[in-house]
Chains A and B, each alone.
Chain A
Amino acid sequence: MSDSAHPAVHPAPTTFIRKWVFSTDHKIIGIQYYFLALVAVFTGLALSVLMRLRLAWPAESWPWLEKIFPVGFEGGVMSPEFYLAMLTMHGTIMVFFVLTTAPQGGFGNYFLPIQIGAHDMAFPVLNMLSFWVTFLSMGVMFAAFFVAGGAPISGWTAYAPLSALGEVAGPGLGSGQDLWIISIALFCVASLLGALNFITTVLNMRTKGMSLMKMPLTVWTWFTTAILALLSFPVLLAAGILLLLDRLGGTSFFIPAGLVVSDTVIENSGGSPILWQHLFWFFGHPEVYIAILPGMGVASQLLSTFARKPIFGYHAMVVAIFAIGMLGFFVWGHHMFVSGLSPFSALVFSILTLAIGVPSAIKTFNWLGTLWGGKIRFTTAMLFAIGFVSLFVSGGITGLFLGQTSVDVQLHDTYFPVAHFHMIMGVAAIFGIFGATYYWFPKMFGRMLHEGLGKLHFWLTFIGVNAIFIPMHLMGIMGQLRRYAESTEFKFMEPLQPYQEFVTFAAFVTAAAQLLFLVNFVWGMFKGKKATENPWEATTLEWITASPPPHDNFGGRELVVNHGAYEYGVPDAPRDYVMQTDPPIARTSHRDAG
C-alpha cells in the first residue's frame, strides 16, 4: 500500500448498509442530501402555512390545532411566542437545510464529478462524513421543537443579546437556543468538509481535455459556491462558539452592560451586540450567494439546452459568477444600515452592494441573449429556468432599493425586505432546484417525470409566489412591520389586513401545488416512463452514460473532452448538438462554433 494509490476508485459496495446508508458513492450521497432537503422543505412549508393562518385571522380559534400543539395554541389561538418560534425555525430550516443542502449537497454532489468526467469526489469518505454530520445537525435542530420551552424565538439570525441571555429572555431561549447553536455549528463543519472536497475535485479530478473553460457553468457555480462556503462558514462557527460561551461559559462577548430583562438584572457587561451582527452577516451575505449561485448555473445550463443555442457569453458568465461571489464578501454591512454604522462605512457598503448589480445584469442579459432567436423547447425544466430568470430580476430589482442607505432606513424591518429576500434567495433558488429536478430526475432515477403534471405545478407555483410576494412589497412600503404575529394593535396597519388574507390564500394554493410535485416525484420514481441516456439531447458528460449511471459513472471508460459545454446548432455537425466527447469537427465554414 503506497500513499499514492488512487483513493477515489472504490469497488462497488455489496451490502445494503454500504450501498444505501453509509455510502461513499457521490451519487448516493447526492440523493441522500436531496431527500434530506425534501423533508426539510415540507417541514418549513408547513411552518409558514401555520404562520399565514395566524396573520390572516388573528382572532380566529382553531381547536384542532390545539390538539396537535397543546403548548403553542392555548385556546386554539397561536401565541405570539409560538409564532416567533415558527418564524425562527422556518427561516433556519429553509436557509440551511434546503437552500444550502439541495443545490450544493444534492445536485452538486451528484453531478459535479460526472460533469467533469471524474469517477467520484476527491475524498469519498469525507463526503460521506459531511452528509452524516449534516443529518446529525438536522436532527439536533428538529429536537429544538421538543425540548422544554420549545424552539428558539430569536429568528434565523439569532440576534444577540436576545439569543445570548438564556431562558430569562423568553421561551425557547433556553435549551432550544442551545440546540440551535449546536446544530448550526455541526452544519458549519459539514459544509466545510463538503466545500474543500468540491474545490479539490474541480481542481484535480477533471478528465482529459476538460480544461477549466470547457466546464459547464453548473460546475463553475458549484466551485464558486464551495469557495464561499469554505471562507464564510468558519466565521459563523466562530460566532456560534462565542455565543455558546456567552450562554454557558459566563462570558460577555455580545452582552452589553445594564440590561434588565423580564425584571431581572443581567450581570454581564461590556459585550457588543453589534459584533454578533458583523460576524453573522459576514457569513450571512455570502450565504445568500451560496443559495442562489447554483441556481444561476442550472438556469444557464437549462436555457442553453432547451433554446438549442450555445450559452451567450460563456466567458462573461464565468467572470460574472466569480465577481458576484467575491463581491458577496464585502457587502455584509448593508444588513446593518440602521445598526449605527458610521455614515462613511454605510456609503462604502452601499456602493459595493449596488456594484453587484453589474455582474447580475451581465448574467441576465446573457440569459436573454441565449433565448433570443432560439428554437425553444418548453419543457417543465425550461419553464422553471425561465421562471428563475423572471424571479431573479423581480427579486433583484428591489435589492437596489434596499442597498441605498436612505431608502433602507424607511423600508427596514418592514415586509419589503421580507418580500425581497423571499423572492430572490428563497423562491428563485427554489425554482433553480425545481428546474434541476425536472432536468436531472431522468438521470438520477432512470425514469421521466410527468410533463403535464410538471407544467401545472410550474404555473400554479409561478403565479402563486408572485401573488404572495408582490402584495408583500406593497405592504412593506405602506409600513407593515415584520416579525409581528398580529398587527391589530396598530391603527396604521389595519387597512392592510385584507392584504394579509389575500397573501394567505395565495400561500395555501401555492403550498397545495407542491403536493402535485410530490405526487409527480413519487409516481415518477416507480412508474415513470423509462428514461434514455440523453432524453433532452444535451451535451454535457452526464448524458453520455446510462440513466442512472453505473457505480464508477462511466462503466470504466476514460473520457476525452473535445468540445465546450454548450455546443448547440454547430455548423457542419451531424446533429444540432455536439456532445463534449464527440470527435473534433472538421470545419468547412468560417463561422466559429464556440
Chain B
Amino acid sequence: MPVAIAPPEVKPQTGREDRVPASGGPGGGSGSDGGPGRRGDGGGRRLGPDSYQLGMWLALASISMMFIGFSSAYILGQGTNSQWRAMAAPPYVWVNTVILLASSLTLELARRAGAATEVKRWMTLTCVLGAAFLAGQLWVWGLLADQGIYLSGNPHSSFFYLLTGVHAVHLLGGVAALVYLTARAWISAARVPAGTSLNVTAIYWHFMDGLWIYLMVLLFFWR
C-alpha cells in the first residue's frame, strides 16, 4: 500500500493564496518572530519533501509490525509445533538474493547519478532486476511445488510460502513505483526522477531488501 505515496501527487500551486511556497528542507520557513512558543519546532512548518519521507518511514514501521507478528508466530511454531520439519533452503533463493541486492545497488547508482541519461539507465536496470527477482521467486515456488513442498505441507513450508509471498506482494508495489517513475522519465525529459519521489522509493526498496535478508536468516538460520 505505501505505493500510494511513493510517487508523490504533485499539484501546482493554486496561486490563489499569497503564501510562501514550501521551502526545501524540514522546518522550512520556521519563524521565531512573534510566536512566543517555547520551542521553535512548531513554527510555521509546511509540508515539504520531508513529509513524504516521514510518511514512508511510518508506513515501514507499520509493515515491520506486520512482519513482527508473523515472526512471533514463526518462533512460537518452531518451538512448540510437533509437526515442524525444517526444509533446506532452495539453492535458487540465493541467486534471487543476489539479484535483489544488485537492484539496491543500481537504484543507489541512479539516485547518485548526475546526468539524466544515467539516471534513466540505472532506473531501467533496477526495474529489470526487480522484475527478475519476482520472476525468480515464482520459479522457486514452482520448483518447490514440483518437489511436493506446498503451502499446506508442514508448518515450515507454510511459513516459507507465507513470508516470501507477503514480501513479494510488497516488492510488487515497489516495482510498480519504479516502473512508473522510469516510464515517466523516458516519456518526458523534464520528469527525470530526482529528489523526493526517488528518495522515498529508494527508502522503500532498500527496506524491502533488508527485510528479505531478515526473512532468509529467520527461515534458514534461526534455530
Contacts and interface: CB of A to CB of B under 8 A. Distances in A.
B4 interface: yes
B18 interface: yes
Contacts of A241: 162, 166
A209 interface: yes
A544 B162 CA distance: 52
Interface stretch (B81-89, B118-126, B212-220): B81-89
A278 B72 contact: yes
A388 B50 CA distance: 39
Interface in A192-244: 192-193, 195-197, 199-200, 203-214, 230-235, 237-239, 241-242
A252 B49 contact: no
Contacts of A8: 47
A272 B9 contact: no
A561 B37 contact: yes
A491 B17 CA distance: 74
A209 B34 contact: yes
Contact of B34 (A2, A206, A208, A230): A208
A211 B38 CA distance: 7
Interface stretch (B58-66, B94-102, B172-180, B202-210): B58-66
B35 interface: yes
Contacts of A199: 54, 58
Interface in A116-175: 122-123, 125-126, 129
A193 B3 CA distance: 11
Interface stretch (A398-406, A552-560, A566-574): A552-560
A223 to B, nearest CB: 12
B152 to A, nearest CB: 3
Nearest to B195: A3
Given A5-B13, A200-B51, A270 B155 contact: yes
Contacts of B37: 209-211, 214, 561
A282 interface: yes
Contacts of B150: 250
B51 A272 contact: no
Interface in B66-89: 66-70, 72-73, 76-77, 80-84
B44 interface: yes
A11 B14 contact: yes
Nearest to A6: B22
A510 B81 CA distance: 49
Q: Which of B24, B34, B55, B77 has the most CB of A within 10 A?
A: B55
A122 B53 CA distance: 12
A208 B44 contact: yes
A204 B54 contact: yes
A4 interface: yes
Contacts of A204: 26, 45-48, 50-51, 54
B11 A9 contact: yes
Contacts of A238: 66-67, 69-70, 73
Q: Which of B50, B51, B67, B80 has the most CB of A within 10 A?
A: B51
A251 interface: yes
A3 B52 CA distance: 10
B78 to A, nearest CB: 11
B19 A558 contact: yes
A257 B82 CA distance: 10
A7 interface: yes
A209 B43 contact: yes
Nearest to A209: B35
B197 A3 contact: yes
A129 B196 CA distance: 21
Contact of A5 (B21, B34, B50, B59): B21
Contacts of A561: 35, 37, 42
B39 interface: yes
Nearest to B155: A270
Given A207-B44, A208-B31, A2 B10 contact: yes
Contacts of A257: 83
Contacts of B43: 208-209, 211
B162 A242 contact: yes
Contacts of A214: 37, 42
Given A4-B48, A212-B42, A272 B77 contact: yes
A70 B62 CA distance: 44
B1 A193 contact: yes
B10 A1 contact: yes
B90 interface: no
Contacts of B38: 211, 213
Contact of B62 (A123, A234, A239, A272): A234
A556 B18 contact: yes
A306 B166 CA distance: 51
Interface of A: 1-11, 122-123, 125-126, 129, 189, 192-193, 195-197, 199-200, 203-214, 230-235, 237-239, 241-242, 245, 249-253, 257, 269-272, 275, 278-279, 282, 552, 556, 558, 560-562, 584
27 contacts: A2-B10, A3-B197, A4-B196, A5-B10, A5-B12, A7-B9, A9-B11, A122-B51, A196-B55, A196-B59, A204-B26, A209-B44, A211-B42, A212-B42, A213-B39, A230-B61, A233-B62, A234-B64, A238-B73, A241-B162, A251-B158, A253-B158, A271-B155, A279-B69, A558-B19, A561-B35, A561-B37
Listed from nearest, the 6 A-B pairs whose CB atoms lie closest are: A209-B35, A250-B152, A238-B69, A270-B83, A208-B44, A211-B42
